[in-house]
């Protein structure tokens, strides 16, 4: 067992200037701190850095297969974390999760068929389909406890009407941070089975359950009787901060579904780059101690936000179990363009509109505490100007 990574590691402010980072370039030359796109301002784990350096010693980067050791590392990880036993042959390697969403639409949805998505949701759920597909938006329900979950009654009513061939889930959910329970997943999968619908489950945030005591359940593992209807999309990219390296995978137990998916991927999706395989293997095999400390750090950051905004009635931070993205209700602010308002005061958040929920903002808190505090100070000052 490797030694734990000290929490202070995540306090280091690493400048991303001169790296063409999307997150930081957006506000280049302006005094706006970025808390929007979902990558982290933390240096990646030391074992991953070492593995990449070692691979660079070899000067050829041609087309590359996924190493057998990577398949084994993923199989072991899913077994250890989620008690999900998969066969390495079920894995299909991809350069991104979004192209897995798009491939699912191409593979399983006939022209004119419908795809169910549950807003508010990561914006690519609205635009990964083909022009001849129809997206049905079935909003999540927000309970009195501010926990967001699927509206299974509305889903059943929609499925009864016919024409739906795919449900696209985000689990854990971006942007609400919900981790779905086994009961919820089993109920949804029973409906999918009754109406012969394929379910693609985007689980890119599954290894980022930060609330202590909460457990992620892969859709396929929580409802094993219906596993063959599922396509699970996963990646080490969010958890180990490797988004720019482009390595993800689909887990598809049913051979026919896997074949259709693979056919949809070929010729439209490039292969995974060799360095991406190297980093991902190291992440799943050697990145455990770093991840463990990261989860603590992120939870502390989330609690810090809740604490600092507790006395601000204009903003309501919704409860969160997973992801590093706080979902904040800003309706009491009385401002039309909330994202623009905070940008004017030096804070670059994601607006709620692309997720399908205009009155919210999303704050990416995967950054050193000092950066987070600068942003929170600016938000509080901005709200003071409104009160004045």
Beta carbons within 10 angstroms of residue 327's beta carbon: 28
Collect all residues with Cβ–Cβ distance below 8 Å to 183 and sequence separation of at least 6. Answer: none
List the interface residues with ligand PLP, window 76-135 (CB under 6 A).
96-98, 122
Q: How far is the CB of 310 from ligand PLP (least distance, A)?
A: 27
Alpha-carbon distances of 301 from 216, 275, 304, 310, 343, rounded to whole Å: 20, 31, 5, 14, 21
Q: Does 200 bind ligand PLP (CB under 6 A)?
A: no
Q: How far is the CB of 170 from ligand PLP (least distance, A)?
A: 5
Q: How far is the CB of 346 from ligand PLP (least distance, A)?
A: 23
Q: CB–CB of 346/32 below 8 Å? A: yes
Q: Which residue, 284 or 341, has its beta carbon nearer to ligand PLP?
A: 284
Alpha-carbon distances of 327 from 32, 50, 320, 330, rounded to whole Å: 20, 35, 8, 10
Collect all residues with Cβ–Cβ distance below 8 Å to 57 and sequence separation of at least 6. Answer: none
Q: Does 349 bind ligand PLP (CB under 6 A)?
A: no
Q: CB–CB of 202/158 below 8 Å? A: no
Contact residue for ligand PLP among 103, 115, 208, 243 (CB under 6 A): 243
Q: Does 280 bind ligand PLP (CB under 6 A)?
A: no
Q: Does 202 bind ligand PLP (CB under 6 A)?
A: yes
Query: Could you give the residue ranges of the DSSP H alpha helices within 287-333?
Result: 288-309
Number of amino acids touching ligand PLP (CB under 6 A): 13
* Residue, CB closest to ligand PLP: 96
Q: Which residue, 16 or 345, has its beta carbon nearer to ligand PLP?
A: 16
Q: Per-residue contact track with ligand PLP, 140 to 179, x per CB under 6 A?
A: ------------------------------x---x-----
Q: Which residue, 199 or 243, has its beta carbon nearer to ligand PLP?
A: 243
Contact residue for ligand PLP among 10, 23, 34, 38 (CB under 6 A): 38
List the interface residues with ligand PLP, window 223-242 (CB under 6 A).
235, 237
Question: How is residue 100 written in tokens?
Answer: 């897995």
Alpha-carbon distances of 30 from 33, 228, 347, rounded to whole Å: 9, 50, 10
Q: How far is the CB of 322 from ligand PLP (least distance, A)?
A: 11
> 3-state DSSP helix/strand/coil percent for the chain, to nearest 5?
45, 15, 40
Q: How far is the CB of 280 from ligand PLP (least distance, A)?
A: 11
List the interface residues with ligand PLP, window 248-277 (CB under 6 A).
248
Half-sphere exposure of 335 (CA within 13 A, CB side): 21
Q: How far is the CB of 307 from ligand PLP (least distance, A)?
A: 26
Peptide bond into 172 cis (omega under 30): yes
Residue 255 CA to residue 234 CA, distance in Å, equals 19
Question: How is residue 122 written in tokens?
Answer: 């990561």
Q: Which residue, 19 or 196, has its beta carbon nearer to ligand PLP?
A: 19
Q: In the complex, which residues of this chain contact ligand PLP (CB under 6 A)? A: 38, 96-98, 122, 170, 174, 202, 204, 235, 237, 243, 248
């Amino acid at each position: 067992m490797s030694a734990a990574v000290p929490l202070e590691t995540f306090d280091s402010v690493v400048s991303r200037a001169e790296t063409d980072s999307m997150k930081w370039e957006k506000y280049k030359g302006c005094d706006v701190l970025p808390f929007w796109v979902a990558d982290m301002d933390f240096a990646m784990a030391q074992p991953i850095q070492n593995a990449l350096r070692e691979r660079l010693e070899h000067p050829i980067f041609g087309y590359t297969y996924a190493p057998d050791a990577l398949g084994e590392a993923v199989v072991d990880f899913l077994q250890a974390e989620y008690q999900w036993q998969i066969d390495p042959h079920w894995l299909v390697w991809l350069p991104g999760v979004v192209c897995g969403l798009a491939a699912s639409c191409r593979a399983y949805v006939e022209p004119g068929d419908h795809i169910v998505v549950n807003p508010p949701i990561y914006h690519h759920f609205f635009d990964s389909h083909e022009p001849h597909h129809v997206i049905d938006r079935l909003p999540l329900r927000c309970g009195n406890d501010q926990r967001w979950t699927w509206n299974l009654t509305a889903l059943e009513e929609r499925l009864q009407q016919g024409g739906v061939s795919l449900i696209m889930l985000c689990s854990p959910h971006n942007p609400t941070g919900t981790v779905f329970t086994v009961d919820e997943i089993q109920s949804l999968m029973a409906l999918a089975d009754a109406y012969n619908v394929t379910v693609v489950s985007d689980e890119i945030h599954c290894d980022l359950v930060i609330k202590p005591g909460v457990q992620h359940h892969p859709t396929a593992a929580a409802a094993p009787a219906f596993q063959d209807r599922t396509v699970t999309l996963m990646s080490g990219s969010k958890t180990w901060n490797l988004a720019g390296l482009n390595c993800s995978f689909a887990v598809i137990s049913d051979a026919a579904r896997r074949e259709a998916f693979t056919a949809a991927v070929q010729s439209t999706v490039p292969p995974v780059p060799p360095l991406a395989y190297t980093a991902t293997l190291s992440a799943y095999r050697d990145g455990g101690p770093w991840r463990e400390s990261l989860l603590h750090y992120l939870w502390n950051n989330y609690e810090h936000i809740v604490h600092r905004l507790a006395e601000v009635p204009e903003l309501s931070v919704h409860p969160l179990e997973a992801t590093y993205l706080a979902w904040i209700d800003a309706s009491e602010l009385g401002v039309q363009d909330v994202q623009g308002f905070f940008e004017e005061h030096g804070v670059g958040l994601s607006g709620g509109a692309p997720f399908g929920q205009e009155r919210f903002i999303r704050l990416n808190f995967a950054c050193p505490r000092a950066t987070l505090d600068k942003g929170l100070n600016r938000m509080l000052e901005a709200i003071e100007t409104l009160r004045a």
